[in-house]
A and B are shown apart, each in its own frame.
Chain A
């Protein structure tokens, strides 16, 4: 069993719905261990496990003819996703936002040579800074375990609207003059954060965190950090307001009753050693 196979299977188990994990972990590790015995490639097997985990996420009514039965309610498939999927999607969103700076650095300083180049350059920023994070966080909200479906839907819609709004806002009569000029940046971020707060049923005090994106956008717009950062890396500061929303969202999560409900939902049991 190679390290790669083990990592793939561990990843597959981690992204599996909570009710599958215990069985899949033991089953797939056993299959991995014995793959060579039946002439199968452990790595191919592990990839199969990963694709199963990624693309087949419906709840399984586990049955058994023994006392080691692992059962989930037959009506469970309505919420098969787990909190581990949510951090994964949030990570995707953060990485996307972080990549917007390097993408900008790669753009030509002397203007684009063609309209297509410009479209790719600007489109890349939209994708990295707005659309990909928006899609990832919307999906994360929809998959939030334990959250009321009405809250999840509303939250996801708000985040998706914020992502689209962030792209559209600069075209809709860009306001000029401080501090109004930061509105096209701040408003979508506030809507996105509101979506998250609604979805996780954040307590009232958590709503004070909306001040964080305000502060970050103000600092970004005022250029306070520019002298502190090497000139070549200044475009990376573009990510600051969006990252402040992520930080605010994480801080809000720590206060959410949802977090308490989902904590301890899935502790990986040790593999069963029947020699004991």
Chain B
């Protein structure tokens, strides 16, 4: 597995959505859940697959004739790395949302 050179916000969203999915996730469902354009999500999925973070395969639902859906799931390494990345983002978001302690301009009175 290769490390991600660029970890953009949409990439983190895709990773988080894949982590939240129970089992293989359908690409179109990810697009819907994330509310991001398919032109953003499709390339991210392809990049993650190219770099060995996820794998993909066809849906084997025999009840649905015609073209098959493409499903994605993490590789073992990818899942661990994604978990770390998403956790790091959440930690960063949490620290950013905490109110910063501003230095007081009041003179000390003691």
Chain A positions near chain B (C-beta within 8 angstroms):
23, 25-27, 29-31, 33-35, 38-40, 44-45, 47-52, 55-56, 58-66, 68-69, 271-275
Q: How far is the CB of A220 from chain B (nearest CB, A)?
A: 45
Are B38 and A52 interface neighbours, CB within 8 A?
A: yes
Which residues in A have their C-beta under 8 angstroms from that of B43?
A: 52, 55-56
Check if B55 is an interface residue, CB within 8 A of chain A: yes
B-side interface residues, number (CB < 8 Å): 34
Are B32 and A40 interface neighbours, CB within 8 A?
A: yes
Q: How far is the CB of B41 from chain A (nearest CB, A)?
A: 8
The answer for the CA separation of A35 and B29 in the assembled complex, in Å, is 9
Q: Which of A39, A58, A65 contacts B57 (CB 8 A)?
A: A65
Check if B56 is an interface residue, CB within 8 A of chain A: yes
Which residues in B have their C-beta under 8 angstroms from that of A33?
A: 66-67
Which residues in A have their C-beta under 8 angstroms from that of B32?
A: 38-40
Q: Which of A51, A61, A68 contacts B50 (CB 8 A)?
A: A61
Given A66-B57, A66-B58, A49-B67 contact (CB < 8 Å):
no
Are A38 and B38 interface neighbours, CB within 8 A?
A: no
Are B66 and A271 interface neighbours, CB within 8 A?
A: yes
- Residue on B nearest A52 in the bound complex, by CB: B42
Q: Which of B38, B50, B62, B73 contacts A48 (CB 8 A)?
A: B38
- Residue on B nearest A271 in the bound complex, by CB: B67
Are B57 and A68 interface neighbours, CB within 8 A?
A: yes
Are A63 and B66 interface neighbours, CB within 8 A?
A: no
Are A61 and B67 interface neighbours, CB within 8 A?
A: no
Q: How far is the CB of A210 from chain B (nearest CB, A)?
A: 43
- Residue on B nearest A55 in the bound complex, by CB: B43
Q: How far is the CB of A164 from chain B (nearest CB, A)?
A: 34
Q: A63-B54, A64-B57, A274-B65 are in contact. List 5 more A-B contacts (CB 8 A).
A: A31-B28, A58-B46, A60-B46, A63-B75, A275-B65
Q: How far is the CB of B24 from chain A (nearest CB, A)?
A: 8
Are A31 and B27 interface neighbours, CB within 8 A?
A: yes
Q: Which of B27, B29, B56 contacts A64 (CB 8 A)?
A: B56
Check if B37 is an interface residue, CB within 8 A of chain A: yes
Given A30-B69, A34-B28, A63-B56 contact (CB < 8 Å):
yes
Given A48-B37, A49-B38, A60-B67 contact (CB < 8 Å):
no
Q: How far is the CB of A6 from chain B (nearest CB, A)?
A: 12
- Residue on B nearest A77 in the bound complex, by CB: B50
Are B69 and A31 interface neighbours, CB within 8 A?
A: yes
Q: Which of A29, A30, A52, A61 contacts B49 (CB 8 A)?
A: A61
Check if B80 is an interface residue, CB within 8 A of chain A: no
Are B58 and A68 interface neighbours, CB within 8 A?
A: yes
Check if B86 is an interface residue, CB within 8 A of chain A: no
25 CB-based A-B contacts, threshold 8 Å = A26-B58, A27-B27, A27-B67, A30-B67, A30-B68, A30-B69, A33-B66, A34-B69, A38-B28, A38-B32, A44-B38, A45-B31, A49-B38, A50-B39, A51-B39, A52-B39, A52-B43, A60-B49, A61-B50, A62-B49, A63-B54, A65-B73, A68-B57, A272-B67, A274-B65
Are A60 and B50 interface neighbours, CB within 8 A?
A: yes
Check if B40 is an interface residue, CB within 8 A of chain A: yes
Candidate in B40, B41, B42, B60 with the most chain A CB atoms within 10 angstroms: B42
Are A40 and B28 interface neighbours, CB within 8 A?
A: yes
Which residues in B have their C-beta under 8 angstroms from that of A274?
A: 62, 64-65, 68
